[in-house]
Amino acid sequence: MLFLLNDTVLDLGLPGETFARAGGGSPASARLSHAIRAGQEALFAAGAFTRAHPDVAFAVAAEIALASEANAALFVIPGRIRRPEEVAVRLASAPLTTLARILVHQSRVGPDPAFVNQQVWTLAQQAPNLAGTRASA
């Protein structure tokens, strides 16, 4: 399974196996609130998922995939924040063709936030998010 975490497409394989291998335990124990909190804490501590331990990104992505319909998550530090809970989070369900296009692009040029924003987050802003409310910019 492909999963977009911020500006990078990750190949999770089977999310349940990836979640267990990353130390998350049984796939049945996956919880969206836990995944979001773990992602917020990782981004707050490291400033970027690329600077966090590699397993963290895979664990967060796999748990979100197992606990929701999302295959894309955006964690953003809005200005000066004091606590991990203040990291903003957006979830989306992007078409597989879009994720594949981003994966090919990233294999050629590396992570490209502008390209990802154009392909996913700008479009997600126009549709209801997975929580049933309009996504915010």
Read off the pLDDT band of 131 (50, 70, 90): very low
Q: What is the pTM of this model?
A: 0.86
Q: Residue 98's closest CA among 86, 115, 110, 113? A: 115
Tell me the average pLDDT across 7-20.
Answer: 95
Per-residue pLDDT tens over the stretch 49-78 = 878 887 899 999 999 999 999 999 999 998
Read off the pLDDT band of 11 (50, 70, 90): very high
Higher pLDDT, 119 or 135: 119
Per-residue pLDDT tens over the stretch 96-123 = 999 999 999 999 998 889 999 888 887 6
Maximal CA-CA distance, the chain: 38
Which sequence spans correspond to the domains of the chain?
2-125
Q: Are strands 72-76 and 2-5 parallel, antiparallel or unpaired?
A: parallel
How far, in Å, CA of 52 to CA of 6, rounded?
A: 13
Q: Which of 58-62, 69-73, 126-130, 131-135 has the lowest mean pLDDT?
A: 131-135
How far, in Å, CA of 1 to CA of 136, rounded?
A: 26
How far, in Å, CA of 91 to CA of 135, rounded?
A: 9
Read off the pLDDT band of 37 (50, 70, 90): very high
Contacts of 5 (CB under 8 A, 6+ apart): 49, 57, 60, 61, 72, 73, 75
Give the mean pLDDT of the chain: 88
Sign, CA torsion 125/5/38/17: positive
Q: Residue 128 corresponds to which amino acid?
A: P
CA atoms within 13 Å, Cβ hemisphere of 48: 6
